[in-house]
Structure 1
Amino acid sequence: MSRDDKARVANIFDVARLAGVSHQTVSRVVNELPNVRPATRKRVEDAIRQLRYRPSTTARALVTRRSRTIGIITTGSPDYGPSSTLQSLTEAAREARYNVSISSMLEADPESMRGAVETLLSQNIEAMVLIAAHRTALDAMQGFELGVPLVAVDSSARPGFHSVSIDQFHGARIATEYLIGLGHRDIVHLAGPEHSMDAAERLRGWRHALSQAGLVARDPFVGDWSPQSGHRFGQEAADAPSFTAVFSSNDQMALGAMFAFAERGIRVPDDVSIVGFDDIPESAYFSPPLTTVHQDFAALGSDIMATVLELLADGEVEPEPVPHTAPTLVARLSAAPPSTPLR
């Protein structure tokens, strides 16, 4: 095969390998989406020129004759993470000149999911996105024949789905490692609900970081994402014999725990350090300001939309999880080196 023949059959993954980026980044550049650094964009454009890559014009022509609408199904309560994901995806779709049609439900039972799917398909959507808070949503979707591409916002990266997410495991690991780096050796975890995939990944990251440091993971306290459950944890945990730090699976539960500690005369971070997760806008104004894990929902929305556009251009791509966006730690004043064990 000649060099020109090779160039003509280059696909999006060839471009990604040559440019040293993910295929979602290539799709973002091709579709002129935001949130790509100028140097990265140039590297991708150089790779496109070198490989003579061209997106499928046939697929693009078919798309222009359709609705330019994507359907979005959200499940579970309107917590900060899913709500922010929906907002960022809606904005990314608008940037790509797509409309969105949204179906939201608290329970992801098969009957409700089927109704939502049928309603969205009746609107001639081009693709569907599932923002899945619970495993049951993925279970319900697995048996449907949609006829359009499906992208799941799923931190568990279950096989059989094109899944996009922020790396919850990594976020929990760096939060726990930060506390370990401060000198804490007994770190309690205030976990999210057992049915939540994000909570499961954060629990796994906490356990992994402790294990790598040779530390023991005591049984976590399971909350429900609310400040009330964090408050209950704080009241119970105040009687624990030796812990010096708490990693909370979200900021709202951390707020409840901090309030309970204050009621018991336990000072943060003098007596106990706390690290949260999500970096909600209010976290910088807690007393003290909360050290937490920041999730880039704008980048997540762009990644989801880039994956949708890629699938519309190359519909025969096999379902697979895609690389996670990495969260970052925001160090504030709620975590410090331990003084004496909490008693």
Structure 2
Amino acid sequence: MATAAELPRRAARPSMADVARHAGVSSQTVSRVSNGHRNVDATTRQKVVESMRTLGYRPNGAARALKSGHFNTIGVIMFTLETFGNIRTLDAIAQEAAKANYAVTLIPLPGRTSRRVSGAYNRLSEAAVDGVVIIFEAHLLDDAEFALPPGIPVVVIDSNAGSGYPVVDTDQALGARQATEHLLALGHRKVWHIAGPRTSFSASHRVESWQRTLRDGGVTPPRVLYGDWSTESGYRHGLTLGRREDVTAIFAANDQMALGAMRALHELGRDIPGDVSVVGFDDMEEAHSFWPPLTTVRQDFAEVGRLSIKKLLARVTGAGPDGNDRTIVPTELIVRGSTGPGPAAVPVPPAHAPRPRRRTD
């Protein structure tokens, strides 16, 4: 084994002074070029750039950041990477941040407590970020005792931000109303709902809007069936609902639970949409490939990501207002083949009559 003295020495990293000597200019000129200042003539700038390339010099970004107070990094705190919505939102945030020349530092949280969020926020503060996006998907900020330490701009997605925290979110209530009204307009006398977790902010808003829409239509809401966003929970509740002949319409709080419910209905021999219509929420890429293709509520995750970064960077640069402002992104109902007329719209045919043809669009 080679001794320490025998090991090859790592080549010293070229310094700003090395570049200055190579280019025949002052260190101040090299500093101005590396920091993007324009008060250097084109010929001199080109000489410095060529010397940097020749020597393999890289400007010390950390030192520049400490000096300027800007790190060009955005922190993201989120509870889980398992759900479709969180993955799409994070992707949109990363893309929009990159367009503004910002990197993203992610801290996923295994627990759902205000203490963990505060701890993650403090860790990001120490990691040198210019601002933080927090994707809660929970009611933590409803807790009066919960507060983030001051000093770093924050934008919240998918929660009630309370006082002082700006919010960007999908219009959860609008999406649930669009889904429920669509099924009622098709003639279904009652719409059942497979909801997300009780702790989820977005799920609770969809439940409230679904119930309100049914009551506005003169329908008493049935009991809520709570899932956990997974296809398995949708399948489990789909078996329960599919065994009831009076169930003709199901609104699932996300596409994955809708897929699980559709599998259960198929196994029970219930035709979709001939016997039961199904609506999801999200419009994941595969929704059009379900059988039949899934009617669903489309969320614009790219717009949520774009607006959250835009709002955060406005606060980072001092161009945005402080305080509690809320930006809501509208949803869109995408009608496909999983929904059809209910018993209130089409007379029930005699037992010997042929069944309606299944829609394939």
TM-score range for the pair, normalised by the shorter chain length: 0.7 to 0.9
What's the TM-score once normalised by structure 1's chain length? 0.77
Aligned-pair identity (%)? 36
Structure 1 residues 233-252: aligned runs within 5 Å: 233-252=237-256
CA drift of 1:187 comes to 0.6
Task: Show the counterpart of 1:165.
Answer: 169
Distance, in Å, in 2 between the alignment partners of 1:66 and 1:197 is: 33
Does the C-alpha gap of structure 1 residues 161 and 249 become closer, same or farther in structure 2, counting only changes over 3 Å? Answer: same
Q: Which amino acid aligns with 1:102?
A: L
Q: Which amino acid aligns with 2:85?
A: G
CA drift of 1:220 comes to 1.2
Task: Show the counterpart of 1:36.
Answer: none
Task: Show the counterpart of 1:75.
Answer: 79
Task: Show the counterpart of 1:269.
Answer: 273
Q: Which amino acid aligns with 1:69?
A: T
Distance, in Å, in 2 between the alignment partners of 1:195 and 1:276 is: 20
How many residues are aligned here? 281
Distance, in Å, in 2 between the alignment partners of 1:212 and 1:63 is: 59
Say whether 1:184 aligns with 2:180. Answer: no
Identify which range, 325-334 or 110-119, moves more after superposition: 110-119
Say whether 1:200 aligns with 2:204. Answer: yes
The 8 Å contact of residues 132 and 138 in structure 1, kept in 2 or not, is answered as no
CA drift of 1:306 comes to 1.0
Does the C-alpha gap of structure 1 residues 167 and 182 become closer, same or farther in structure 2, counting only changes over 3 Å? Answer: same
Extract unaligned runs of 5+ from structure 1. 1-60
RCO comparison, higher one (Cα < 8 Å, 6+): 1
Does the C-alpha gap of structure 1 residues 141 and 300 become closer, same or farther in structure 2, counting only changes over 3 Å? Answer: farther
The 8 Å contact of residues 175 and 332 in structure 2, kept in 1 or not, is answered as yes
The 8 Å contact of residues 76 and 134 in structure 1, kept in 2 or not, is answered as no
Q: Which amino acid aligns with 1:97?
A: N
Distance, in Å, in 2 between the alignment partners of 1:326 and 1:212 is: 21
Distance, in Å, in 2 between the alignment partners of 1:245 and 1:316 is: 45
Structure 1 residues 103-122: aligned runs within 5 Å: 103-122=107-126
Task: Show the counterpart of 2:127.
Answer: 123
Distance, in Å, in 1 between the alignment partners of 2:116 and 2:306 is: 28
Q: Deviations over 1:243-292 (max 9, x none)?
A: 21001001111111111111111010000100000011111111101000
Distance, in Å, in 2 between the alignment partners of 1:284 and 1:141 is: 44
Q: RMSD of the alignment, in Å? A: 2.3
Q: Which amino acid aligns with 2:297?
A: V
Does the C-alpha gap of structure 1 residues 142 and 245 become closer, same or farther in structure 2, counting only changes over 3 Å? Answer: same
Q: Which amino acid aligns with 1:237?
A: L
The 8 Å contact of residues 141 and 161 in structure 2, kept in 1 or not, is answered as no
The 8 Å contact of residues 110 and 140 in structure 1, kept in 2 or not, is answered as no
CA drift of 1:180 comes to 1.2
CA drift of 1:146 comes to 3.3
Does the C-alpha gap of structure 1 residues 263 and 62 become closer, same or farther in structure 2, counting only changes over 3 Å? Answer: same
Larger helix fraction of residues: 1
Say whether 1:91 aligns with 2:88. Answer: no
CA drift of 1:140 comes to 9.6
Task: Show the counterpart of 1:150.
Answer: 154
Distance, in Å, in 2 between the alignment partners of 1:281 and 1:137 is: 31
1:338 is aligned, of 321, 338, 342, to 342
Say whether 1:306 aligns with 2:318. Answer: no
Does the C-alpha gap of structure 1 residues 247 and 159 become closer, same or farther in structure 2, counting only changes over 3 Å? Answer: farther
Higher alpha-carbon Rg: 2
Identify which range, 234-243 or 91-100, moves more after superposition: 234-243
Q: Deviations over 1:23-79 (max 9, x none)?
A: xxxxxxxxxxxxxxxxxxxxxxxxxxxxxxxxxxxxxx9996410111110113520
